[in-house]
């Protein structure tokens, strides 16, 4: 089973920052495009950012472009999402996964942006 363990969420004020981590199974980055998703209250799950298996092709949702940065550490089998200038509308449960042929979802990590 593909490992997907998210962490790093929390409660922050608007304008604050968080860094999310996703520990995956060994070799995932060599094979699959991976990325971050989020689901806000009352909304569908949406893609936030993704990265190709080679690491050279990155996409961001328009809503987070310029504020979030996706990265990874292949040796640690870990995907990251640096989130800066957080807004209340960023409040959601954040998940990682491969982009195509989604694996079963992990538990996600809660991000709450509120004063």
Q: Which is it for strands 58-60 and 46-51: parallel, antiparallel or unpaired?
A: antiparallel
Say what the pLDDT of residue 30 is.
Answer: 85
Quick one: how far is CA 104 from the chain centroid?
Answer: 15
Say what the pLDDT of residue 3 is.
Answer: 92
Report mean pLDDT in 10-residue bins for the chain, 115 residues.
Answer: 94 98 91 96 96 93 98 95 98 96 96 97
Say what the pLDDT of residue 67 is.
Answer: 98
For residue 71, give both structure tokens: 């990265």
Say what the pLDDT of residue 29 is.
Answer: 84
Let me know: does 60 contact 47? Beta carbons within 8 Å. no
Q: Could you give phi then psi for residue 8, rounded to 5 degrees?
A: 105, -5
Say what the pLDDT of residue 80 is.
Answer: 97
């Amino acid at each position: 089973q593909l490992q997907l363990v998210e962490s790093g969420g929390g409660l922050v004020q608007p304008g604050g920052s968080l860094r999310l981590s996703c520990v995956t199974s060994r070799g995932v980055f060599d094979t699959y495009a991976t990325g971050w998703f989020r689901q806000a209250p009352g909304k569908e799950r949406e893609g936030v950012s993704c990265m190709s298996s080679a690491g050279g092709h990155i996409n961001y949702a328009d809503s987070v472009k310029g504020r979030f940065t996706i990265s990874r550490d292949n040796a640690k089998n870990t995907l990251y999402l640096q989130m800066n200038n957080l807004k209340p509308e960023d409040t959601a449960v954040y998940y990682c996964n491969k982009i195509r042929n989604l694996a079963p979802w992990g538990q996600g990590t809660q991000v709450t942006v509120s004063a």
